[in-house]
Amino acid sequence: MSVIKPNNRAAESCHNEVISVDRVSFSYQQKLVMQDVSFGVKERDFIGLIGANGAGKTTLLRMIVGLLKPSAGEIRLFGQPVQSFKDWDRIGYVPQKNALNPQFPATVREVVLSGLYGRKNMFRRLSKAVQSKADDALDAMGIIDLSDKKIGQLSGGQQQRVFLARALINNPSLLILDEPTVGIDSETQENFFHMIKHMHQHHNMTFLMVSHDMEMIRGYLGQEPAASAGKLKFYIRHSHDTQDCVESNLAHSLKGLRARMESGREVVTVGDRY
């Protein structure tokens, strides 16, 4: 049995849990891939998931995004069981890269817009607002100039940026990335990591990322895994913005106090408590 207890510091934080994996096991037919795995991801955490080939990393991500069903246990997203979760716009998922056929007919813009397919009928004329969302995502990835190119004709690194732009079009708060830099040259890899660190630190996004790039993982998330389950290892960097937790707790107390005062249940003179 491998159980990762939700991390203590994260459990104390004021941030909500965005992913909760509770005693999950999974088998493909008779083949047991993982057993009794538990872990939690809080808002603004950055989790690096590491493990040897075949350890079950992709399987775990596919269960989290609802593409596979656990054989046992439960997964919750933003507090909802994954099987009844509807708010997929809050999550961007970039699956493991597959080399695209150079004849693949879609343009970069069409691939990015397909991130909205769940909600939009693509046969309708797209509104200006939707087009501008695509522009924003393309711009954020630095590929706006490639908008009208066929995606199959781009390099691996450029294609990966397109898939990330597709995941970003809904402005998600959680990004799940499965080996996003496989097959990408080291300079592009470095730019890519720079970009996602920036999104983590300045746009308050939460990340769950599978990677074999130990240099990046150790450099950003620490030298040692914070937890492990079977062959899976979890490197974790929490949000350090304790200040906004303090402010959020204070705002919460003040709101409660105001409500009590308004209902006449409590009389407080300034200076009584603060």
Ligand X SMILES: Nc1ncnc2c1ncn2[C@@H]1O[C@H](COP(=O)(O)OP(=O)(O)OP(=O)(O)O)[C@@H](O)[C@H]1O
Name the residue nearer to ligand X (CB basis): 60 or 169.
60
238: nearest Cα among 250, 223, 220: 220
Strands lying side by side in the sheet with 72-77: 31-42, 17-28, 72-77, 80-81
The smaller minimum CB distance to ligand X, of residues 35 and 58, is found at: 58
Q: Which is nearer to ligand X, 33 or 168 (CB)?
A: 33
Binding window for ligand X (CB under 6 A); candidates: 16-24, 52-60, 191-199, 217-225: 52-60
Binding mask 7-46 for ligand X (x = CB under 6 A): ---------------------x--x-x-------------
Question: Which CB atom, from 106 or from 230, has the smaller least distance to ligand X?
Answer: 230
Would you put residue 4 in left (φ > 0), alpha (ψ -120 to 50) or beta? beta
Stretch that binds ligand X, among 14-22, 51-59, 74-82, 113-121 (CB under 6 A): 51-59
Nearest CA to 201 out of 27, 6, 45, 22 is that of 45
Q: How far is the CB of 183 from ligand X (least distance, A)?
A: 13
User: Where does this chain touch ligand X (CB under 6 A) — which range of 6-14, 48-56, 104-112, 261-269?
Assistant: 48-56
Q: Considering beta carbons, is residue 152 or 230 the nearer one to ligand X?
A: 230
Q: Closer CB to ligand X, residue 51 or residue 70?
A: 51
Which amino acid makes up residue 15?
Answer: H
Residue 259: which residues within 8 A CB-CB, separation 6 or more?
Answer: none
Q: How far apart are alpha carbons 46 and 216 in whole angstroms?
A: 12
Strand residues in 78-231 grouped as ranges (E) = 80-81, 91-94, 174-178, 206-210, 227-229
Nearby residues of 207 by Cβ (< 8 Å), 6 or more positions away: 45, 46, 47, 174, 175, 176, 177, 196, 199, 200
Distance CA 183, CA 98 (A): 10
Q: Which of residues 53-112 bind ligand X (CB under 6 A)?
A: 53-59
Among 51, 70, 172, 225, indicate the residue that binds ligand X (CB under 6 A). Answer: 51
Residue 243 binds ligand X (CB under 6 A): no
Site size for ligand X (CB under 6 A): 11
Residue 30: CB minimum distance to ligand X, A:
10
**Site residues (CB under 6 A) for ligand X?**
28, 31, 33, 51, 53-59
